[in-house]
Structure 1
Amino acid sequence: MKPFDPRLLRYARAARGVFGFGALLGLVRTLAILAWSWFLANALATLVLPVLGGEGGGAGRVAEGAYGPDQVPFLVGGALAALVVRAVAGWGMDVVAARGAVRVKSELRAAALDALDTRSPLRDGSRSDSELTTALGRGLDALDGYFSGYVPQLLLAVIATPVLVVAVLIADPVSGITVLIVFPIIPVFMILIGLATQAVQDRQWAQLQRLSATFLDAVSGLATLRIFRREDRQTARIEGETDEYRSRTMKVLRVTFLSGFVLDLAGTFSIALVAVTVGTRLVAGEFPLSLGLFVLLLLPEVFIPIRQVGAAFHASTEGLAASGEVFDIIENGEGSPAGGAPVSTGGRAENGLAADPAAPDSATAGGLSVADVRIDRGGREVVGPVSLTVAPGEVVALAGPSGAGKSSIIAALLGFLAPAAGSLSAPAGIAWAGQRPGLLQGTIAENVALGSGSPDPARVRRALEAAGLPGFDPDLVLGAAGSGVSGGQAQRIAVARALYRAWTHEGSALVLDEPTSALDADSEAVICAAMRAEATAGRPVLVVSHRDAVLEAADRVVRIGANG
């Protein structure tokens, strides 16, 4: 967990404006603080000196550099003007931060959703849907505290603190050197407290994700839980997770409050040490009163930004933890190649992977072609070389044991994976149904026509009938994650979606990944007939399957085997 992650500027352009305009306003605010301290110190000295020692002021150098009584209105007016500029600059920083937070969250969400749209269906599944929802929802919303509270203080700590320390050094080298000696105490405390805060915050964030996942599981399986009368057990489980999250939240708050107390205490001792030296020299008449007041007015301003940035950081750690996950989502989804993009050619078939014996030297126009494709993961070859072609009007089955790389080949054709070697070619459009149906909450018609601006009711019914669901009501509403239908029905709805898209986009290929794994023999025969109908219509059809009926229905079968 970093106080500032450079990836924020890379993936959210609005953040650049926040830091740029915020830094400019912070500089204006710092200059206003200097002016306010100078005007106020001289005004107070001018008013106090006659009281201390008559018109001539106090003893020694106390009255040195003092203004006359006739300059008091000018000094007071300057102090008030500087105070107004300081307030306006501070308000401007808050406005820039608040508005920037809204734009930054929008840009990060859009970038993360784009990454999720382009990621491979072969993702490792390290993040569940509930974790993604929590990170993109509650997590990014927590960035409001980061931008409204932490960023302005961070900018002031970077800009105001050095300028004010230099001003103290110029005004009084003794006080400036004292500040430089005691100032590092606060950052040291911040680092130590930050390490403790990171640990408790990471545990709280992990607990929040577990709570979200538990709640989503309970909602998704509520009907089943009611049937078996197990809802009370899930209620107790959610109560336990909620209580654990409450406990961890209180631990985070405890560390935050203690860190604020420690930083305030360190800052107070540092200011008191400098104030004692200034006061001692004033009493001895070795220091001008106006200069002493100027230094004493600046001292709190020197320590305030670094104290407040520590407290604000601890209050915004949830947003930082969530943003780190969002950056990971964005980066893991980047770099997906365009479908059908050619890559360097590979060699002959080896490692027990068979090339398509019927594959011609070049891709058939309008068909699918995979030529000597290799796929690597983590620097290790997991698939290849594999060659196959699917001509228009042909059904080709891709078979092999689990882990042989069948789905990886499909992902490469779809553009989700970049092959390490070989070449791929495909029509402009591919209608695809994966191993996971990927149904969404909404009507069956909306799921079948997913991505279409205005679904065609007749085409939806035709697709459902071709997929073996002739009696299904297209207006039936599915629940969260497509709940409300059986696994086999969900699989056929996914096939109907692929058929709908194939019919909508002329010249597209049909690619099905294990379309009958959850179907009985009769339903499987319907899907095989649908594939044959699409091939008869002139479409290239590629199906991944290990089912004998599907393999027998294909014109050719290309078999691949697992590496060594």
Structure 2
Amino acid sequence: MHYAAAARAFFGVGAVLALAQVVCVVAFAWLVSSIVVSAIEGAPLTALAGSLAWLVVVVLVRSALAWLMEVNAARGATVVKSQLRREVLQALPRLGPSWLSTRNRAAVSTVVTSGLDALDTYFSKYLPQLILTVVVTPVVLVVLFFWDWESGLTVLLTLPLIPLFMVLIGWATQKAQTEQWQQLGRLSGAFLDVVEGLSTLKVFGREKRQTARIRAVTDEYRSATMKVLRMSFLSGFALELAASLAVALVAVSIGLRLVNGSLALGVGLFVLMLAPEAFLPLRQVGAQFHAAADGVAATDDVFEILDAAGRGAVGADYSATRATRATRATRATRATRATRVSVSDVSVRYADRVAVEHFSATFAGGALSVLAGPSGAGKSTLVAALLGFVEFDGSVQLGDRRGGGGESTPLRSMPLHREAIAWAGQRPGLLAGSIASNVSLGDVSPSAALVAEALRLAAAGDLAKDFVLGVNGTGLSGGQAQRVAVARAFYRHLSRGCPVVVLDEPSSALDRATEAALIAGVREVAERGAIVVVVSHRPAFRTAADQVVRMVAPVGIAEPIAAAAAAAAAAATAGAPLSAKVG
């Protein structure tokens, strides 16, 4: 109810249907007991016709209510799953690659797909019984006390046995269920690792060993699943036994009082038919708890993602209002006129490790700025900070500070501030589809002219726009994929007017001639007024730059880098393989 507003409607409708069901339960028991007593006393069939007709009506209404409960459960599960999936898919981009790199990607995918699908059982079997327990059991107890307080007292005293068994069994089941869910995540991760590295494994002749690894992880998951099923069947047996013994106590008490004449047959039969109904919902809650445990485990992971993304509101609709969209449009127009990005005293920390420490620089519009420095100096981390993918101390300002008359906006305080940045990372991140669709990714109405212009600027004009790529962009060489990713950043800059263009190692897989063509395109984008920041180790980019900003590794990181560099130099001087010396 906190994370998915759709769950409230499900509980509200479920409570109304449960209240109607308890009325039908009481009416059914009363009609059956009265008909049986009247028949025993010799009443003709014509006298029982009215009661029999009402009995048929009650049975039909109860069946309809049960069907409506199932419809409500199915609709609730579908709507809540859709809402949670939408919120998670909106939260993951806000968390960014830095957060995702610390998680098992296969496990996250499992949570969003098959994990949330387990909510079907949770909503269809567990929650309806929970609602019935809250509504039906108290009402039945009140009716029992009204007609026969002794039977009501017996039910009240024996009823806690079922929650007691549920708690005792649940403690053991929870641990087993958590282990099963973790095993599923490990199985997904292991399989994904094998698929992604299959070509490398084939080259080194190690693919056969992965068979044993997958088999071992699968066996662990199978064992964990069977353990959960075993506990589920045992708990069902225990709950049924407890409920049967409690009803038996009521039946023995009623039988003895019927024999000595202290209880009327009609009342005894009515109470005896109602007694099992007091235990049934609670018993079903315990039986269905195990079936719903997968959904509970998955939603816990979903809530962790939403909490990490800072979704503090209660299932609200986060789509932009008209006023918010107008504000974004105003700020986007203002951003396109921005002349510089000012980075002031920015520090980024990962747990107890400092990645960037007190870094300051200004990147001007109309100029090509190259960010250089040794590996581990924090260049990619600084890019992640610009994109809002990591938390940082300090400030990043987008605007014009000249003469104090211009206006400057904190980049991370702008609504959807990534709208101001066109970016290409070290990994191309291409998708199945045509080159044109990859270049215009995210554009509802792509422009063929802008696609062609973006490819030209990225030195990829020779690539056919209609060429269809496979999964993960297969079909292109590493250098071609790199240029298509750069073209995608240029297309975003051209189509949306993003004032900032950030490229992370855009020429690492290019030859000198192609790199020179790419640099010419990057300079052309800069000369048109864009704020262009390029992370690069290549001398050609540093030579072509209007500004070279050098980053130094923070204290504690610089020493290992320097030691590795010294070892590499010594190995090269000695003529030994680098891998043997540096590792």
- Say whether the fold is shared (TM-score over 0.5): yes
How many equivalent residue pairs? 520
How far is 1:236 from its partner? 4.8
Relative to the length of structure 1, the TM-score reads: 0.82
Equivalent residue number for residue 13 of structure 1: 5
How far is 1:552 from its partner? 4.0
Aligned pairs for 1:64-79 within 5 A: 72-79=48-55
Equivalent residue number for residue 490 of structure 1: 481
**Residues 1:506 and 2:497 aligned together:** yes
Pick from 80, 84, 88 the counterpart of residue 112 of structure 1. 88
Secondary structure of 2:96's aligned partner: coil
One-letter amino acid of the counterpart of residue 40, structure 1:
V
Mapped to 2, the partners of 1:477 and 1:214 lie a distance apart of 30
How far is 1:299 from its partner? 0.8
Equivalent residue number for residue 155 of structure 2: 179
Mapped to 2, the partners of 1:300 and 1:498 lie a distance apart of 67
Q: Structure 1 residues 165 and 486, CA, compared in 2 at 3 Å: closer, same or farther?
A: farther
Equivalent residue number for residue 395 of structure 1: 368
Mapped to 1, the partners of 2:131 and 2:215 lie a distance apart of 42
Mapped to 2, the partners of 1:170 and 1:546 lie a distance apart of 85
Equivalent residue number for residue 285 of structure 2: 309
Pick from 460, 480, 487 the counterpart of residue 471 of structure 2. 480
**Residues 1:448 and 2:421 aligned together:** no
Secondary structure of 1:425's aligned partner: strand
Q: Structure 1 residues 335 and 309, CA, compared in 2 at 3 Å: closer, same or farther?
A: closer
One-letter amino acid of the counterpart of residue 396, structure 1:
S
**Contact 2:386–2:396 under 8 Å retained in 1:** no
Equivalent residue number for residue 368 of structure 1: 341
Mapped to 2, the partners of 1:158 and 1:386 lie a distance apart of 59
How far is 1:517 from its partner? 4.6
Mapped to 2, the partners of 1:382 and 1:232 lie a distance apart of 39
Equivalent residue number for residue 46 of structure 1: 38
Which segment drifts farther, 371-380 or 551-560?
371-380
One-letter amino acid of the counterpart of residue 453, structure 1:
V
CA RMSD of aligned residues (A): 3.5
**Residues 1:90 and 2:66 aligned together:** yes
**Contact 2:502–2:534 under 8 Å retained in 1:** yes
Q: Deviations over 1:249-283 (max 9, x none)?
A: 22222221111111111111111112211211111
One-letter amino acid of the counterpart of residue 259, structure 2:
V
**Contact 1:412–1:419 under 8 Å retained in 2:** yes
**Contact 1:220–1:480 under 8 Å retained in 2:** no
Q: Deviations over 1:325-374 (max 9, x none)?
A: 22222332346999xx9xxxxxxxxxxxxxxxxxxxxx984432334455
Q: Structure 1 residues 492 and 404, CA, compared in 2 at 3 Å: closer, same or farther?
A: same
**Contact 2:355–2:381 under 8 Å retained in 1:** no
- Structure with the largest fraction of helix: 2
Pick from 208, 229, 246 the counterpart of residue 253 of structure 1. 229
Secondary structure of 1:439's aligned partner: coil
Equivalent residue number for residue 572 of structure 2: none
How far is 1:23 from its partner? 0.9
One-letter amino acid of the counterpart of residue 61, structure 2:
V
Secondary structure of 2:503's aligned partner: strand
Aligned pairs for 1:511-526 within 5 A: 511-519=502-510, 524-526=515-517
**Contact 2:126–2:288 under 8 Å retained in 1:** yes
**Contact 2:37–2:266 under 8 Å retained in 1:** yes
**Residues 1:326 and 2:299 aligned together:** no
One-letter amino acid of the counterpart of residue 124, structure 2:
S
Relative to the length of structure 2, the TM-score reads: 0.79
Equivalent residue number for residue 118 of structure 2: 142
Mapped to 1, the partners of 2:186 and 2:467 lie a distance apart of 32
**Contact 1:449–1:497 under 8 Å retained in 2:** yes
Mapped to 2, the partners of 1:547 and 1:335 lie a distance apart of 41
Aligned pairs for 1:133-532 within 5 A: 133-225=109-201, 231-334=207-310, 365-373=338-346, 383=356, 385-400=358-373, 405-417=378-390, 419-425=392-398, 429-457=420-448, 459-469=450-460, 471-506=462-497, 508-519=499-510, 524-532=515-523
Equivalent residue number for residue 3 of structure 1: none
Structure 1 spans left out of the alignment, 5+ residues:
1-8, 51-66, 342-362
- Sequence identity (%): 49
Equivalent residue number for residue 544 of structure 2: 553
Pick from 23, 26, 33 the counterpart of residue 34 of structure 1. 26
How far is 1:34 from its partner? 1.2
Mapped to 2, the partners of 1:255 and 1:335 lie a distance apart of 36
How far is 1:449 from its partner? 2.0
Secondary structure of 1:438's aligned partner: coil
